[in-house]
Amino acid sequence: MGEHTVLVTGATGGIGEAVAYQLASDGYHLQLHYNLNREKALEIQRTIIDKFDVDVQILQADLSTSAGPYHLLEQLTPKPSILVHSAGLAHHALFQDVSSEDYERMIQLHVTSPFILTQKLLPSLLSRKWGRIIFITSIWAATGAANESLYAMAKGGMTSLMKSLALELGPSGITVNAVAPGAIDTSMNHVLSEEERIEISSQIPIGRFGTADEVAHSVAFLLHAKSAYITGQTLQINGGWHM
């Protein structure tokens, strides 16, 4: 594992951070992307370097802008052999209230930037005849979500891209999969009231919110050598909610 470098976008988010620690413990070298939270990125970098014998770079880029993916690509040395597209942003609004600015930002962040990053890094993966690409999507990509139509649509776009790439890249030794979290106890869901959390938990067969570590474990599973026959799949990490 140590010979592989992983790019994790959105590494200062709850799931991205958990993925970074999990993969560091598994011996991968890391390129951790962040946008605004440099102090958090530095903290994660310091902690990982102190605990694990791996290289850790932190890289800033705003992937919600058209220039963002190109700015990130300029910083990627060496080129990663594993891509974990974890950068994301929640969006809650009635469909008729979605602004053009929100639309452009969400599609850029969740679809266009992952598309560009993958496309530009693909020659390096093809030259190795090996690579792993993982998209962090959402339960809403499969079910839809009232008041989150833009977010659900963007994550659905990631899912369609994942499936298409899996078909195209399988012959080249590159697997492409997705991890679709349900209700996970991260800052994205801290806007919920205690009553709302109780109501949601009551709908989940496991009876609780998931943890970021549980999502990170699924990423590590897909990267394991014994998972090389899994491609084009979405792991639903949702406690049985909305099967």
In contact, 25 and 2? CB cutoff 8 Å: no
Polymer length in residues for the chain: 243
- The reply to whether 70 belongs to the active site is no
CA–CA separation, 35 and 33 (whole Å): 7
**Which of 61-98 are b and which e, b meaning 16 or more Cβ less than 10 Å from the residue's Cβ?**
bbbbbeebbeebbeebeebbbbbbbbbbbebeeeeeee
Q: Which residue has the tokens 């549980």?
A: 214
Q: What angle do CA 66, 84, 35 make, to 5 degrees?
A: 45
CA–CA separation, 8 and 219 (whole Å): 11
Helix spans in 110-229 (H): 113-128, 140-143, 149-169, 194-203, 212-223
Instruction: Tell the burial category of 233 from Cβ atoms under 10 Å away from its Cβ (0-12, 13-18, 19+).
Output: middle
CA–CA separation, 85 and 114 (whole Å): 7
Tokens encoding 25: 């413990």
Question: Mind telling me the catalytic residues?
Answer: 151
